[in-house]
Chains A and B, each alone.
Chain A
Amino acid sequence: AQSVTQPDIHITVSEGASLELRCNYSYGATPYLFWYVQSPGQGLQLLLKYFSGDTLVQGIKGFEAEFKRSQSSFNLRKPSVHWSDAAEYFCAVGGRQGGKLIFGQGTELSVKP
């Protein structure tokens, strides 16, 4: 079955600390991979995506993610978190034939001053 797992429901980090949000997927083939961010009361905004090529992808707001095929993972990282990064983060996978996205449950990020 196709699924996305984000093991951490809630993470708290101090401002300026590094961040890693985990994402594992189960999919029949290599999927397209995405990270979205949702600020309170807002819609989802695309942070970054992996389609093919370099397995380390750069996104907006200083985020990056690394695709590891052997681990079926696509973890999101940021070297230094800002208070404005507090939000909910969703990992998603989609088939290369297109269409539906499958979302993880989300990880809520809190940032301590």
Chain B
Amino acid sequence: SQQGEEDPQALSIQEGENATMNCSYKTSINNLQWYRQNSGRGLVHLILIRSNEREKHSGRLRVTLDTSKKSSSLLITASRAADTASYFCATDYSSYKLIFGSGTRLLVRP
């Protein structure tokens, strides 16, 4: 399977702390994307990092990409209770096909 694997599967932190989620994949990619899914809802795109980029920021989000290790990390700084959700990495192997990982369930305790 070309599916990305996320680590950890579940993460529980206190509000204000940072949350780090990792994603590993198997073959070369065009880009890697992170999505968030609130319970009972569809996925929402958070950030995209291209294969020639190493780090990208968007607000409280920081994404890194290490193509030599075929891995990416998503850092959420100063977490809030509203960040509670599942987070998925998705790897883009072709012009359209995204392969989603199994997700990390994040719980931010108030």
Q: Do A and B come from one complex?
A: no
Residues on B lying within 8 angstroms of A by beta carbon are none
Point out residues on A near B: beta carbons under 8 Å: none
